[in-house]
Structure 1
Amino acid sequence: MNDLLAAHLTIAGHPIAWSEIIGNVFGLASAILGMRRKVWAWPVGIIGNVLLFLVFTGAAYGSESGHTLYGQAGRQVFFIITSVYGWWRWQQHKEHDPNGVAVEPRWATWRERAVVGVLWLAGVAILTPIFRSLGSYDPVWADAWIFVGSMVATYAMARGWVDFWLCWIAVDIVGVPVLVRAHFYPSAVLYAVYAGFVIWGFVVWLRLARASTDEAAAGAAERVPS
């Protein structure tokens, strides 16, 4: 296991762990499957989460591939937990949907957005001093922002909210600079790729949500007696 985790490429004098590269490939595959509303998005994502957890805690046990980012590592644990929930939720919806669709995208309500926004900011405020005491990489607030934002985005994806793509944009804007400074280059590149991919996914889910709303409106109109 140690040999596996230590295996790396050296690019421009910087060691890059194969586990980081492979973990991010699984992460990207999970995002693509999620955009296409495939249940397989969740188990594929779990594999990537396990690999990336080992990557981001690497410095704690002697790895030279980068600094320890407790927020980045901790969010992988949450991803696994939430992925189990999302996996179950999407599978249940698929089994009961007449068209076999795993999720029907919709916008979150204003109440749901308000709750998520408050929890996001509160989580950053609470976790920043905790991550700092653990020795997380500066700026520590950014690590906390990425951690909480990732939790929010993953939960919103499990719920089928179109808003989850916008949450990922907010995470990516902060995440790319932090990962570059901490020398996690494959993860930084993936975040940058996500920025474009997230916009694409947002458009796809937005169209699906609108189509679903139009279909529901048409069905309601047909039920109204003339």
Structure 2
Amino acid sequence: MDPLRWLFEAQIPVGGSVLILREVLGNTFGLASAVGGMRRRVWAWPVGIAGNLLLLTVFLGNVFGSATPATLWGQAGRQVMFIGVALYGWYRWQQGRKSGSGGTAVAPRWAGNQTRVILALSLVAGTMALTPVFDSLGSYPPVWADAWTFMGSLLATYGMARGWTEFWLIWVAVDIVGVPLLFSAGYYASAVMYLFYGFFTLAGFFVWWRASRLANRPVTVETVFPDPVVAK
């Protein structure tokens, strides 16, 4: 069988139903990208793009003639958005690594109160603006949830590219809405993966929080040569 045709038609039987292989692979790549993002490695971006391309074909299943549960224009559109922003993040982190940062590509930092307000307002305003658009395209209801996950994903990915620690919390907000939507639409593999992402993003937030504190910590004799009695 043609490998490409096999990839599009392959399914994994689970109980009385099946999972789409491309959906499982796409989310696996997404998880690997999240791990790379937490470790601040440049390879997180191209790996994520590979997963986005696979998931794009899944959420536009009817377009590709495959038997997917439902068409989610917001989920499909955000894969395209992911690819665009990922190219920007890939370039930005590559430049950061060249400038020298101990093997990592970006130094985590806080976005600041003004930027946080802008992010929150953008999430709400973007959701309100996109909801009627996705509704007219026939996206799976509730359509506002599809729009919310799209806007949240856009802002989170951009925040990751900029090195803002808050981007992890935006992902949490996306997962809170996105997981029930995916379960309802029948995308069980993606729903389970996003449920796991919810816990993973909280862990990633604390990892970046600690890294941002260390990055802003003044260099002293105690920093370089900590007291062996109290150092852990």
TM-score interval (norm. to shorter): over 0.9
- CA–CA distance in structure 2, aligned partners of residues 163 and 137 of structure 1: 29
Q: 1:58 to 1:93 in 2, by over 3 A?
A: same
2:144 is aligned to: 141
Q: 1:14 to 1:65 in 2, by over 3 A?
A: farther
Q: 2:15 aligns with which of 12, 17, 27?
A: 12
One-letter identity of the residue aligned with 2:141:
D
The CA RMSD over aligned residues, in Å, is: 1.5
Shift of 1:195: 1.1
- Work out whether residues 15 and 65 of structure 1, in 8 Å CA contact, stay in contact via their aligned partners in 2: no
CA distances 1:172-220 after superposition (whole Å, capped 9, x unpaired): 000111101111111001101111111111111000011111137x69x
Is the aligned partner of 1:83 residue 2:70? no
CA distances 1:132-162 after superposition (whole Å, capped 9, x unpaired): 1100000000000000000000000000001
Unaligned 5+ runs, structure 2: 222-232
| Structure with the larger helix share | 1
CA distances 1:37-92 after superposition (whole Å, capped 9, x unpaired): 10000000000000000000003443222100000000000100111100000010
- CA–CA distance in structure 1, aligned partners of residues 139 and 18 of structure 2: 20
Percentage of matched positions with identical amino acids: 53
TM, length-normalised to structure 2:
0.90
- Work out whether residues 16 and 65 of structure 1, in 8 Å CA contact, stay in contact via their aligned partners in 2: no
1:222 is aligned to: none
2:227 is aligned to: none
Is the aligned partner of 1:114 residue 2:117? yes
Q: 2:39 aligns with which of 18, 22, 36?
A: 36
SS in 1 for 2:18: strand
1:184 is aligned to: 187
Q: 2:212 aligns with which of 209, 212, 220?
A: 209
Give the total of aligned pairs: 218
Which 4+ residue blocks in structure 1 deviate beyond 3 angstroms?
none
TM, length-normalised to structure 1:
0.92
